[in-house]
Amino acid sequence: MTLADLKALDKAGHGDDEDSEDETLVDDSEASPREVPVKTERIVINNASRGYAVQVNAPLDTDIYKHLSSLRIQDNVAEEQSVQINYGTTTKSLSILLELARLRQVSAPVIAR
């Protein structure tokens, strides 16, 4: 094939546009792409504890919530003598709460059935 044949093939592929010979591809792979921040959400909703139950809906000793974009805690109910934890706490704090709950249970009046 001659150079004229190659030009003819190029024109056939791109049409007869005069600017087609001057087109240049630009490689912008070295430019850093815009980083989109990752959004992490934690939702603690509609939990219920009753009686003498202990319900923990959160991490212990490690604050995994500190990197969250959003934290929603709502409509959680702890009734009667129950204990409910919906945000991170320490095992020491949990132990104190459990001991207080135990003392309440021991001192609670016994209802005859």
Whether 88 and 62 have beta carbons less than 8 Å apart is answered as yes
- Rounded to two decimals, what is the model's pTM? 0.59
pLDDT over 80 at 76, yes or no? yes
* Domain residue spans of the chain: 41-107
Question: So what's the pLDDT on residue 5?
Answer: 72
Query: How far apart, in Å, are the Cα atoms of 82 and each of 43, 68, 91?
Result: 21, 28, 18
Question: So what's the pLDDT on residue 26?
Answer: 61
| pLDDT, average across residues 59-74 | 90
Whose CA is closest to 71, among 47, 28, 40? 40
| pLDDT, average across residues 53-79 | 92
Task: For residue range 9-65, list pLDDT tens digits in order.
Answer: 776 655 555 555 566 656 556 666 678 788 889 999 999 999 989 999 999 999 888
Most confident of 4-13, 64-73, 88-97, 102-111: 88-97
Run of H or E including 15: none
φ, ψ at 33 (rounded to 5°): -70, 150
Residue that has been written with the tokens 């990752």 in this structure? 38
Question: So what's the pLDDT on residue 30?
Answer: 65
